[in-house]
Structure 1
Amino acid sequence: MSGWPVEYARRVLSTVDSTNAEAARTATEMTQPTWILAREQTAGRGRRGRVWANPPGNFAATLLLRPTEAPHLTALRSFVAALALHEAFVTVSGRPEAFSLKWPNDVLLNGGKVAGILLESLGVFHGVSYLAVGIGVNLIAAPDPAQLEERAVRPVSLMSETGAHVTPEEFLEALAIAYAAYETQFQTYGFEPIRQAWLARAAKLGEVITARTGNTERVGTFETLDEHGNLVLRTAQGREAIPAADVFF
């Protein structure tokens, strides 16, 4: 690693309720993109308000940004963050073949969920004023599968699957370096290179998957990711672009 990206600030907290909540509380004080890392997080949240367990030694952090793009482009940073996470995992483990990306915002290790991303807009007024990119990683421990919803991908930890013991501070440095590079690419060249890189690491591409939105499920072949970040399925009814869903294998 070449060192911390100078254009990004860093705050390390002993304990906090949620790093995304801390980002919301301090957004107006931000003078540059800022990573907020918590050694202990007492009220972490995942997508759709689900609880995100974070025992000591696991990774909980939020990147606080002040984007200038339209909201639909700002939301594409979930894919930027996913690529940065993938690269950080490869950096600390040396096992590129073990990791893949699950739409819309998870990282898989040997087929199990090792990390998740939660984007939240803050202070919205005529667009997104601030963006919190929350990231949780099972560095040393994974949740009890019995606590998860039916059909959820089994949870795993980096240490249990690879034997790599990585501290949250070490992982943050690898992640921040990777994110800064992908963010520059996104701002310079737009979403297309990010889309292509994400697809090259996608789990179950070309295979049959299930996408559930509310009480509706669609089963089809995962064809691609479109220019808006939508999941594109080939179903019995034809080709369909899905903007938001829970995906099951």
Structure 2
Amino acid sequence: MIEIIPETGSTNADLLARLAAGEEIAENYWLVTDTQTSGRGRQGRPWLSEPGNFFGSTCISLQASDPPPASLSFVIALAAYEALVPIMDRPDRLQLKWPNDVLMSGAKLAGILLEGRGRNIVIGIGVNLVSAPKIADRDIASIAGTGSRPDRDVFAHSLADSFRNEVAAWRDTGLEPLFKRWLSVAHPVGSPLAVHATDGSRIFGRFVGLAEDGALLLEDGDGGVHTLHAGDVMLGRN
């Protein structure tokens, strides 16, 4: 089910508030808004609202047999990728960046934020379908910038279907197939990366894969391999 509302501060905040009030939110329910006035990205960054773009959130109720919840970052990234491929003239320009950014020709096309409450994970996603907000230190892209103008509601249903399928696969087959698929459409092994770690440090190296839990493996110039569970990743030595 997709519920569309004209305006809200944040679809993630709305679902978290409903969970805090004791409401049960069914899986496969999406809250989508035309305008989001207080959208948030990773590390507290604002996610700017542009008319015609997609802003929505859904919720997963964790089961005892589920893989680790952090791996849902890869699930939603793949769902977004699969929903975007059919509406792009050049799907080969799409690429995933650890852990869950969707890029087009190296510029950010979609952002994803996961927030937990108890056994529930709220997943929010913003996708630049028709316009790209200007952000000083970021390259931002939109699909409309390539000549097409996707319909928000059609995309919403495609994303919901794709995410439902990806969650089923995540539960049925576990992490190894998930990470293998993610790697097939992400920055290649050997890519130079710069990681701004949560402690303020910056690590340069080359991408050498994922750990068993999905952590980023980065080999520095001395041959040491860093296992990173959080951080802001930039392609190249930025």
TM-score normalized by structure 1? 0.87
Is residue 224 of structure 1 aligned with residue 209 of structure 2? yes
Matching residue of 1:233: 218
Q: Shift of residue 12 of structure 1?
A: 1.1
Query: For residues 71 and 120 of structure 1, what CA distance do their matches in structure 2 show?
Result: 17
Matching residue of 1:18: 10
Q: Shift of residue 25 of structure 1?
A: 1.9
Q: Is the 8 A contact 1:64 1:133 kept in 2?
A: yes
In structure 2, runs of 5+ residues without a counterpart are: none
Distance 1:69 1:237, change over 3 A: farther
Corresponding residue to 1:243 among 220, 229, 234 = 229
Matching residue of 1:4: none
Matching residue of 1:181: 165
Query: For residues 72 and 238 of structure 1, what CA distance do their matches in structure 2 show?
Result: 28
Q: Secondary structure at the match of 1:206?
A: coil
Corresponding residue to 1:52 among 15, 39, 47 = 47
Equivalent residues in 2 for 1:151-162 (5 A)? 152=138, 154-160=139-145, 162=146
Aligned length: 230
Matching residue of 2:106: 111
In structure 1, runs of 5+ residues without a counterpart are: 1-8
Matching residue of 1:191: 175
Q: Shift of residue 29 of structure 1?
A: 2.5
Query: For residues 205 and 163 of structure 1, what CA distance do their matches in structure 2 show?
Result: 31
Equivalent residues in 2 for 1:138-157 (5 A)? 138-146=128-136, 148=137, 152=138, 154-157=139-142
Query: For residues 17 and 91 of structure 1, what CA distance do their matches in structure 2 show?
Result: 30
Query: For residues 25 and 103 of structure 2, what CA distance do their matches in structure 1 show?
Result: 34
Flag as ranges the 4+ runs of structure 1 deviating above 6 A: none
Q: Secondary structure at the match of 1:228?
A: coil
Equivalent residues in 2 for 1:95-134 (5 A)? 95-122=90-117, 124=118, 129-134=119-124
State the identity %: 35
Matching residue of 2:74: 79
Corresponding residue to 1:200 among 174, 184, 209 = 184
Matching residue of 2:193: 209
C-alpha distance after superposition, 1:105-152 (max 9, x if no partner): 210011110001100002x3xxxx211101011111112132x4xxx4
Q: Shift of residue 225 of structure 1?
A: 1.4
Matching residue of 1:6: none
TM-score normalized by structure 2? 0.91
Matching residue of 1:169: 153
